[in-house]
Amino acid sequence: MPQYAGSNLKCVRSERVVFSNLGFKVEDGDALVLIGPNGSGKSSLLRLLAGLLLPAEGTLTWDGEAMVDDMDAHHARMHYVGHLDAVKPVLTVSENISFWSRMRGHGKDTSENAVGDALDTFAISRLADVPGRFLSAGQKRRVTLARLKASPAALWLLDEPTTALDKDAIAALENLIRDHRASGGMVVVSTHAEIKLENATVLDLSRFSQRRAA
Partner 1 sequence: MNSFLNIIQRDLHLALRQGLDSLMVVMFFVIAVVLFPFGIGPEPGILARIAPGVIWVAALLASMLSLERLFQTDYEDGSLELLSLSPLPLELTVLAKVITHWLTTGVPLIIAAPLLAVLMNLDTDGFAMLLVALILGTPSLSLIGAVGAALILGARRGGVLLSLLILPLFIPVLIFGVSAVDAAILGFPVKGQLLILGAFLIGAVAVCPFAAAAAVREAVK
Q: How far apart (Å, rounded) are the C-alpha atoms in residues 204 and 123?
A: 33
Angle in degrees, CA 185, 196, 145, rounded to 5: 55
Task: Tell the smallest beta-carbon distance from residue 138 to partner 1 (Å).
Answer: 16
Cβ nearer to partner 1, comparing 87 with 127:
87
Nearer to partner 1, 75 or 178 (CB): 75
Q: How far is CA 102 from CA 105, 110, 145, in A?
A: 5, 9, 16
d(CA 26, CA 37): 22
- What is the nearest approach in angstroms of partner 1 to the Cβ of residue 157? 9
Beta bridge partners of 59: 7
Query: DSSP of 145-173, one letter per residue?
Result: HHHHHHS--SEEEEESTTTT--HHHHHHH
With respect to partner 1, which residue has the nearer C-beta, 72 or 198? 72
Binding-site ranges for partner 1 (CB under 8 A): 47, 50-53, 72, 75-76, 78, 80, 82-88, 90-91, 95, 99-100, 102-105, 107
Nearer to partner 1, 42 or 47 (CB): 47
To partner 1, the closest distance from the beta carbon of 73 in angstroms equals: 8
CB of 90 to partner 1, least distance (A): 4
